[in-house]
Amino acid sequence: MFAINTLAPYLLTALIGSPQRLIYLSSGLHQGGDPDPGVLQSRQLRWNGSQAYANSKLFDVVLAFAVARLWPHVLSNAVDPGWAPTKMGGASAPGDLEQGVATQVWLAISEDPGAKVSGRYFYRKRTQPAHAAASDVPVQDAFLAACEQLTGVRLPTEVTK
């Protein structure tokens, strides 16, 4: 779960040129995530799929906020698309697929001042409070160091426009 939900976005971000905007998909469940990077690949912990998902989504927000801090000319945000009726969400999910993608599209292309911000967490085109650890620089740095160790690829601290 961590490899797909979090490590892959880290690696793509580290290898990308200099984008104007980055949008990371998270979940409201990130609020229950554990901000200790040691939980990412721990073999000592008993597997808990729900907790692993929450952790991976928390670290997506951590990544978005770290990129916003390190690359100030890039708009980097995290989005909760909501619980939508997909294969993963199930047919009984109360959300709407169109609403689920509307915020990402808006953040990607809109010239609206509300979309031209960075280091924020969004749900339905509105900023929402994110887990406090997402803004914690030592947590961000520990997460980036763990990803660098796992991938052998460092997130550049400066990218040019």
pLDDT digits (tens, 9 = 90+) for 62-97: 999 999 999 999 999 999 987 665 666 556 656 666
- On whether residue 146 sits in a domain, the answer given is yes
The reported pTM is: 0.90
Tell me the percentage of the chain whose pLDDT exceeds 90: 68
- On whether residue 160 sits in a domain, the answer given is no
Q: Average per-residue pLDDT in the chain?
A: 88
Q: Are 124 and 102 in contact (CB under 8 A)?
A: yes
- On whether residue 25 sits in a domain, the answer given is yes
- On whether residue 103 sits in a domain, the answer given is yes
Number of independent structural domains in the chain = 1
Which of residues 30 and 85 earns the better pLDDT score?
A: 30
- On whether residue 156 sits in a domain, the answer given is no
Q: Compute the C-alpha angle 43/44/48, nearest 5°.
A: 75
24-39 exposure pattern, b = at least 16 Cβ within 10 A, e = fewer: bebbebbbebbbebeb
- On whether residue 35 sits in a domain, the answer given is yes
- Give me the pLDDT at residue 79, please: 97
**Mapping DSSP to helix (H, G, I), strand (E, B) and coil, where does residue 80 land?**
strand
- Comparing CA positions, the residue from 75, 71, 40, 59 lying closest to residue 130 is 59
pLDDT digits (tens, 9 = 90+) for 120-146: 999 999 999 999 999 999 999 999 999
Query: Residues with catalytic annotation?
Result: 53, 57
- Domain range spanning residue 30? 2-151
Q: Which CATH number goes with the domain that contains 93?
A: 3.40.50.720
